[in-house]
Amino acid sequence: MDPIPFLSKSNQHSTVLIQDWSIFELFGRKASGVCNAATSSKILIEIDDKNMRLEPAPLKIINEAQTSFAVYDLQKIQSEPSFSVSALYDGLLSSTSKQSPAPISVSSVVGGTDQLSGLLVSVLRNEGAAQRVIYTHQLPWFLLIYYHTVTLTCKDLSSGQKQIPTIHKQLFAPAVTRKKPALIEWEFDLPRNSECRLQFKFEKAFLRKEKFNTKLYV
């Protein structure tokens, strides 16, 4: 799945978020080498919090348009076979809410990713009564979806027993390369007190170099 830069500890009324992150945690690998075709290879990290501490310390800090960036020049640290930066925060984020949690929640994660393929999983959790829902997901054209791998499975939150949802409608609109995103839409009955997973595999299309940003902001 996607590495998440926030770790959380929660109880019934509040959630405490730990903000610490690193390049390795975000992208699943460290930066290695430099681009031989580029005149420079640098990592720029926006300093968005006065309590933010970077390790290792940056070579310099630049200020542009009321924003500060820490600069790491990879050409000057080529002695290291791989390189990562960690951001540490002195304080915690505390979010307190008096509202009760929503009976239905949706989250999506990406798993098993590399430079070629991956698996996208959307989790629909229903802690209330049965609902008829429409799941809609729009995906960029460069994610080539294997439509035959799309599956929907549900289980009871209390017993863990498998449940079979009633599917009313399925819509697949393939992407058009560099013009239109793909669309997946399912209308089905979300069982009461259940967790449903809709997942599919995909492959990444080849991107032209001008589609990439020449600077990396974290």
Global pTM? Answer: 0.52
Q: Which amino acid is at 93?
A: L
Alpha-helix residue ranges (DSSP H) falling in the chain: 23-27
Question: DSSP code of 180?
Answer: B
- CB of 98 closer than 8 Å to CB of 13: yes
In order along its 218 residues, the chain shows pLDDT tens digits of 333 344 444 444 444 556 788 888 887 888 877 877 788 888 888 887 777 888 888 888 988 877 889 898 888 876 667 888 888 887 665 555 555 567 889 998 887 766 788 899 999 999 989 999 999 999 999 889 999 999 999 999 999 999 999 999 999 999 998 889 999 999 999 999 999 999 999 998 877 766 655 443 33
Predicted pLDDT of residue 217:
36
Q: Environment class of residue 99 by beta-carbon count within 10 Å: exposed (0-12), middle (13-18) or buried (19+)? A: exposed
Closest CA to 19 of 45, 46, 43, 52: 52
**SS3 call for 89:** strand
Domains parsed from the chain with CATH numbers: 21-89 (no CATH), 104-204 (2.60.40.740)
Predicted pLDDT of residue 113:
60
The tokens of 182 are what?
């793909």
Alpha-helix residue ranges (DSSP H) falling in 77-217: none
The tokens of 123 are what?
């989790």
Predicted pLDDT of residue 7:
44
